[in-house]
Amino acid sequence: MSEETRLREQICLLAKSMFDRGLTGGSTGNISARTPDGGLLVSPTGTSFGRLDPGRLSRFDARGVLIEGDEPTKEMPLHAAFYDTRAKTGAVVHLHSCHSVAWSLMPEVDEDNFLPPLTPYAIMKLGKVKLLPFFVPGDPAMGEAVRGLAGKRTAVMLANHGPVVAGVDVEAACNAIEELEETARLAIIMRGYDARMMTPEQIGAVVTKFDVDWDA
């Protein structure tokens, strides 16, 4: 089995796992990953994470030209923005996950640091998550907003829409976006309680130990 064939199957396996656990539904969400030759594999437009076909993924060459497979997701500018601005990006995942969307609607949310410091794991896997404003789905301006961050963030939250996370590979990106959703779910559960957040000293210790780019 070739490395690209394994990557195709891994994309579909991880996407189905997220779909089966309710992290995105219907035909929502999209996923992409860098191929060994510098191209991209991308989930096609209008497809369900629960039923992706490895053989029908959109395939781009290293120049960004679609060379085979179905028409790609309309959110390609969003994906391209991460690949173009973050050299270490090997995969990008976008979900319509319920709790992260719900948290984006709350008036107290910090736009520069979307997730409250409830556990160390979101800090470790995501750094600071930037809350971006509402865009009409498919609007290329979403990609421009990500480019405006100059590669300083691995994750953004599209208000009223869903999270987008870049990772070094597809497994890392999926693990990180799941951590984002779980942290948002915990924030919703604790909303209205006098929760003990992590202290600045505790956050600093995690940032130092795991070499997190926290001040960007």
Could you write out the DSSP letters of every residue in 158-205? ETTTEEEEEESSHHHHHHHHHHHHHHHHHHHHHTTS---PPPHHHHHH
Query: Is residue 150 in some structural domain?
Result: yes
Q: Which residues pair with 166 in a beta bridge?
A: 92
In the prediction, which pLDDT does 216 show? 65
Residue of 4, 75, 171, 178 marked catalytic: 75
Cβ contacts of residue 145 below 8 Å, gap of 6+?
132, 133, 135, 156
pLDDT in tens, 21-75: 999 999 999 999 999 999 999 999 999 999 999 999 999 999 999 999 999 999 9
In the prediction, which pLDDT does 120 show? 97
pLDDT in tens, 49-59: 999 999 999 99
Query: Confidence class of residue 213 from pLDDT cuts 50, 70 and 90?
Result: confident
Cβ contacts of residue 88 below 8 Å, gap of 6+?
168
Query: Is residue 215 in some structural domain?
Result: no
Residue of 4, 83, 121, 171 marked catalytic: 121
Burial 59-73 (b: 16+ CB within 10 A, else e): bbeeeeebeebbebb
pLDDT in tens, 115-147: 999 999 999 999 999 999 999 998 999 999 999
For the chain, how many structural domains are there in total?
1
Query: Is residue 77 in some structural domain?
Result: yes
What would the two tokens of residue 142 be? 């979403």
Query: Is residue 34 in some structural domain?
Result: yes
Query: Is residue 116 in some structural domain?
Result: yes
Task: Identify the residue with better confidence: 160 or 213.
Answer: 160
What would the two tokens of residue 146 be? 């990500």
Query: Is residue 41 in some structural domain?
Result: yes
CB of 10 within 8 A of CB of 57?
Answer: no
- Average pLDDT over every residue of 2-21: 97
pLDDT at 199 over 90: yes
Query: Is residue 24 in some structural domain?
Result: yes
Query: For the chain, how far is it from start to end, CA to CA, in angstroms?
Result: 41
Residues spanned by the domain of 160: 3-209
In the prediction, which pLDDT does 1 show? 74
At residue 85, the 3 state secondary structure works out as helix
pLDDT in tens, 140-186: 999 999 999 999 999 999 999 999 999 999 999 999 999 999 999 99
CATH number, residue 144: 3.40.225.10
Query: Is residue 216 in some structural domain?
Result: no
Could you write out the DSSP letters of every residue in 103-135? HHT-TT--TTS-S-SSSHHHHHHH-SPEEE---
- Average pLDDT over every residue of 185-213: 95
What would the two tokens of residue 41 be? 């594999």
**Is 121 an active-site residue?**
yes
Cβ contacts of residue 210 below 8 Å, gap of 6+?
123, 124
**Is 83 an active-site residue?**
no
